[in-house]
A and B are shown apart, each in its own frame.
Chain A
Amino acid sequence: MNDQPILKVDGLSVAYGPVRALRGVSIEVRRGRTVSVIGPNGAGKSTLLWTITGLLKPAAGSVELEGEVISGLKPETIARRGLAIVPEGRHNFLSLTVADNLRLAQIAGRRRGGDEALYERTLDRFPVLRDRLDSPASQLSGGEAQQLAIARALLTKPLILLLDEPSFGLAPLTVEGVFEELVRLKEEGMTVLMVEQNAGKALEVADDAYILSNGEVETASSAESLKSQEDFDAAYFGEGGAF
């Protein structure tokens, strides 16, 4: 095992017109770790994820996946290199059946060595989906839809899984389930980068954490120490609007 991080974001700056959304953000995600980026609304968390996926072009800085620069590549190329995202609001293809949603992911996964066994394992993980393969994705409940979104991401056999606000818009009980799923993924060795407003939950599962505020990394440390730190409260609740 080398010590190279799976994902390395270095000095990333992004601007929307005159507004700078990210300023010199650097983060690292090592193999098998779960990293949370927390921060109030508008801190630049989603911008960070979008830039990593290639949907936004950085004004400065770089993103590396397993040591290779991916910033500037097309989103589909980055996805094919092994970066999967579960976006906020899930964005399943509602007009497609559950099976077709999964099939789409399989097309991407096959190139990375995903096979029938992976498909079966994924369906075993989410038995609800197996029962509903032929229904349109639009008919799933919030929790089921989140499961489909995660299943879809896993089927691409990713090197790293990006999660954008996984608890957003879900009932509390469902949120519980999502985070249980995250713990399970972590135990299986999946590398995860998560952006989440629900800081308590996010820190519970995370190994490392970054606090993003006004487009800059305010604090980077282990999740453990962050939970006990005072400046966490200051940085987080001080901004207001998070809860």
Chain B
Amino acid sequence: MADEKRSRSVRSALRHDGRARLALGLVGLIVAAELLSNWSPAVESFVITTLINVMIVVGLYILIGNSGVVSFGQISFMALGAYMTGLITVEASRKEFLLPDLPGWLSSLHLGTLPALVIVVVLVGLIAALLGIPLMRLSGLSASIATLSLLIISNVLITQSSSITGGNQTFIGVPVTTTTEVALVGAILAIFVAIWFRRSRIGLLLRASRDDEPAARAAGVSVTKERVVAFGISGALIGLAGAFYAHFVGSFSPDDFYFEITFTTLAMLVVGGLYSLEGAVVGALLISTIQEMLGRLENGEGLGPIHATLHDGVTAIVLACIVIAVMIFRPSGLMGHRDTDDEGPADEEDRPTPVVPADDPEAAT
């Protein structure tokens, strides 16, 4: 009894500690973002990119971190969000010129950024949930291949439906409204949604199923339903991130939402830790920073006192090597399974490594 009491008080202390860390982390994020943004326009654009990356990676975490289903298709929703907000917010006169074949009602539609974002969240979330109904019946490799197929399908649809999207052409003229503050709101919103979801009943059930799917199914948890919810929320957030991205860059093309960003955002999550929210954020910040620094060197812009020029491709090479190294030496990511505000004190971390015959992991069912 005494033991239990003590462990409960340890737990609550940790929770408070966790809350303090969360608050500290968020304040740090806000202060850093604001300070850096005032440095120079180039740094500001780096800050905004990073915050959008945080949104995407946290969106990935909501699905992957809770359910263990690794989706390669979430960037489809980013594309959807970007094109949707573009179609809503570009001025009617410009649309007529750029996309003459657009259906009439879409052509005359013109709303401000805020209503557009609301529409994006709702519609993309719904579409994601609907697509999730069949897709989330799958697990493991099947789910990964199916979601990869989704990414390819969405790319085909975007490039081929040129009357609506402009096809392979760059989609231009989206009002540039994503400031550092807006991006900060987005990133923090994403983090809170993720915390809320993780603590929700659905989140708990999903994590139970992640660790032992057959057992969860046997216990009557219809994992599919919970996964569909996670897929929908993840899709809505990533769709929103796509809209933010569109309002940040102003112009984009289908290739911006394909394999490259799928890999970099997944790399961010993997490096931080697939199953950790803190990891998602840290991974996004870390990799975005590395990417920015190397990217500048690659473009010959120099980095403070460093004026070396890196060859094209080096950034991706470094990134790929980081991912491979993490997979080999620390497959649970930099943050392991730790979570800032987790109720149970790092229970996942302390668990002894299961000793299951490892040759054929799928057979461990």
Contact = CB atoms under 8 A, between A and B. Distances in A.
A15 B351 CA distance: 12
Nearest to A53: B357
A87 to B, nearest CB: 12
Interface of chain A, main secondary structure: loop
Contacts of B355: 14-17, 56-57, 59
B357 A17 contact: no
B317 interface: no
A56 B351 contact: no
B352 interface: yes
Nearest to A57: B355
B219 interface: no
A11 B351 CA distance: 23
B357 A18 contact: no
A50 interface: yes
Interface string B351-365: 111111101000000
Nearest to B350: A18
A175 interface: no
B354 A16 contact: yes
Contacts of B351: 17-18
A124 B15 CA distance: 71
Interface string A16-31: 1110000000000000
A14 B351 CA distance: 15
Interface in B310-356: 351-356
B357 A55 contact: yes
Contacts of B352: 15, 17-18
A19 to B, nearest CB: 9
Contacts of A17: 351-355
Interface string B237-256: 00000000000000000000
B359 to A, nearest CB: 8
A57 B359 CA distance: 13
A57 B351 CA distance: 17
Nearest to A54: B357
B12 to A, nearest CB: 23
10 contacts: A14-B355, A15-B355, A16-B354, A17-B351, A17-B352, A17-B354, A17-B355, A55-B357, A56-B357, A57-B355
Interface of A: 14-18, 50, 55-57, 59
Interface of B: 351-357, 359
